């Protein structure tokens, strides 16, 4: 029996958090309670100053997340469906625009809302057994949790439309070819690789990580001239941090930097 608090499990290891979506009997499909718990888990991570990197994965061997829960959505009226879309878009924006680095460790099916959850993360790596796709068209709907916007920005309109028009599922290897995931690893090594990557990133100074994320995510929506000015502003802001002084001094003194994450 699933109870509140069990559907998204967060484990903390110093600066890393591992979030596991835990509804394996429904292939981790996101129903209202799971979404509420995911929202609470993301808010808790964002509020924890110690956490620098969070990994999101799915429980079991079959699925990352097989989508929004179709049983929940089927009877919705237009306003109810719009409400869910807006609420989940806000949740995924918390991930995309949050101050933590999020890594999606795609351990199986990442379909519909599952693919959209992965798209909101900063980095996506996949097990070689994973399958990804936006099959909403087969249900008479469109992706509504950011997919029609994030997917074309990531893989280009032609490929994104092909995936959304056909609803086809693609392999992890194909997803890597089109830039939808950045790495494919054997399924048994997926979590180890995600943690290795997370540890490398968590060893970096937090403000620089945050400003890289902001520069990429916000700059992407600007024309190039504005984006360059924005980058220069954020570059300047780095020089207000203790870690910039320390990082450069450590280089000049030929020693390892002692980051203060300030
Ligand atoms: N919602 C609700 N339940 C789901 C689900 C989903 N998205 N995906 C899987 N499940 C449930 C199944 O109903 C089944 O439950 P029961 O055992 O109670 O019957 C259980 O998970 C196991 O699934 P299958 O028996 O179907 O497993 P399979 O190995 O034969 O197939 C699959 C796996 C290909 C992923 C198939 O389950 C499938 O096609 N799932 C739906 C995928 C999909 O269409 N996702 C998009 C949803 S819409 C969306 O996400 C819109 C949006 O933008 C938010």
Question: Which tens digit of pLDDT belongs to each residue from 34-60?
Answer: 999 999 999 999 999 999 999 999 999
In this structure, the answer to whether residues 30 and 65 fall within a common structural domain is yes
Q: Supply the pLDDT for residue 5.
A: 66
In this structure, the answer to whether residues 193 and 221 fall within a common structural domain is no
Reported as a single tens digit per residue, the pLDDT across 189-201 is: 999 999 999 999 9
Ligand 1 contact via 69 beta carbon (within 6 Å): yes
Over pLDDT 90: what percentage of the chain?
98
**Does residue 102 sit in helix, strand or coil?**
strand
Q: Supply the pLDDT for residue 1.
A: 40
Is residue 206 pLDDT above 70, yes or no?
A: yes
Ligand 1 contact via 66 beta carbon (within 6 Å): yes
In this structure, the answer to whether residues 87 and 150 fall within a common structural domain is yes
Reported as a single tens digit per residue, the pLDDT across 52-94 is: 999 999 999 999 999 999 999 999 999 999 999 999 999 999 9
Domains contained in the chain, number: 2
Reported as a single tens digit per residue, the pLDDT across 18-28 is: 999 999 999 99
Q: Supply the pLDDT for residue 219.
A: 96
Mutation test residue for ligand 1: of 67, 86, 164, 167, the one with most atoms within 8 Å of CB:
67
Task: Give the pLDDT mean for 162-176.
Answer: 98
Mutation test residue for ligand 1: of 65, 66, 133, the one with most atoms within 8 Å of CB:
66
Task: Give the pLDDT mean for 142-149.
Answer: 98
Token code pair at residue 176: 């890597």
Residue ID of nearest Cα to ligand 1 atom 25: 26
In this structure, the answer to whether residues 34 and 83 fall within a common structural domain is yes
Cα(29) to ligand 1 centroid in Å equals 7
In this structure, the answer to whether residues 219 and 193 fall within a common structural domain is no
Atom of ligand 1 nearest to the CA of 147: 53
Mutation test residue for ligand 1: of 29, 76, 86, 131, the one with most atoms within 8 Å of CB:
29
Count CB neighbours of 65 within 10 A: 31
Is residue 3 pLDDT above 70, yes or no?
A: no
Atom of ligand 1 nearest to the CA of 84: 54
In this structure, the answer to whether residues 92 and 24 fall within a common structural domain is yes
Atom of ligand 1 nearest to the CA of 70: 1
Task: Give the pLDDT mean for 105-111.
Answer: 98
Cβ atoms 255, 246 nearer than 8 A: no
Listed residue (195, 168, 196, 197) closest to 180, CA to CA: 168
Cβ atoms 167, 134 nearer than 8 A: yes
Question: Within its chain, how far is the Cα of 59 from the centroid?
Answer: 16
Cβ atoms 84, 36 nearer than 8 A: no
In this structure, the answer to whether residues 39 and 74 fall within a common structural domain is yes
* Integer Cα distance of 179 and 119 in angstroms: 11
Cβ atoms 54, 14 nearer than 8 A: no
Atom of ligand 1 nearest to the CA of 62: 29
For residue 214, what is the domain's CATH number?
1.10.12.10
In this structure, the answer to whether residues 90 and 21 fall within a common structural domain is yes
Q: Supply the pLDDT for residue 2.
A: 45
What is the pTM assigned to this prediction? 0.97
Catalytic positions are: 116, 136
Reported as a single tens digit per residue, the pLDDT across 121-130 is: 999 999 999 9
Parent domain of 244: 206-252
Cα(167) to ligand 1 centroid in Å equals 14
In this structure, the answer to whether residues 165 and 235 fall within a common structural domain is no
């Amino acid at each position: 029996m699933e109870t509140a608090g069990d559907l998204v499990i967060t484990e903390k290891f110093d600066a890393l958090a591992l979030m596991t979506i835990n509804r394996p009997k429904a292939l981790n499909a996101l129903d209202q309670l799971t979404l509420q718990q995911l929202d609470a888990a993301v808010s808790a991570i964002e509020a924890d100053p110690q956490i620098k990197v969070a990994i999101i994965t799915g429980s079991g061997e079959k699925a990352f997340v097989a989508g929004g829960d179709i049983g929940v959505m089927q009877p919705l009226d237009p306003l109810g469906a719009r409400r869910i879309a807006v609420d989940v878009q806000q949740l995924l924006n918390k991930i995309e625009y949050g101050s933590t680095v999020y890594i999606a460790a795609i351990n199986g099916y990442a379909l519909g809302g599952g693919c959209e959850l992965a798209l909101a993360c900063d980095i996506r790596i996949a097990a070689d057994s994973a399958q990804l796709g936006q099959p909403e068209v087969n249900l008479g709907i469109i992706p509504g949790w950011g997919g029609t916007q994030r997917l074309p920005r990531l893989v280009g309109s032609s490929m994104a439309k092909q995936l959304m028009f056909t609803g086809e599922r693609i392999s992890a290897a194909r997803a890597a070819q089109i830039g939808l995931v950045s790495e494919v690893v054997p399924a048994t090594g997926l979590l180890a690789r995600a943690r290795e990557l997370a540890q490398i990133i968590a060893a970096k100074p937090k403000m620089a990580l945050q400003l890289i994320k902001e520069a990429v995510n916000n700059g992407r929506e600007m024309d190039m001239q504005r984006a360059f000015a924005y980058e220069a502003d954020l570059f300047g802001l780095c020089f207000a941090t203790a870690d910039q002084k320390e990082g450069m001094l450590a280089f000049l003194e030929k020693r390892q930097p002692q980051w203060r994450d300030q």
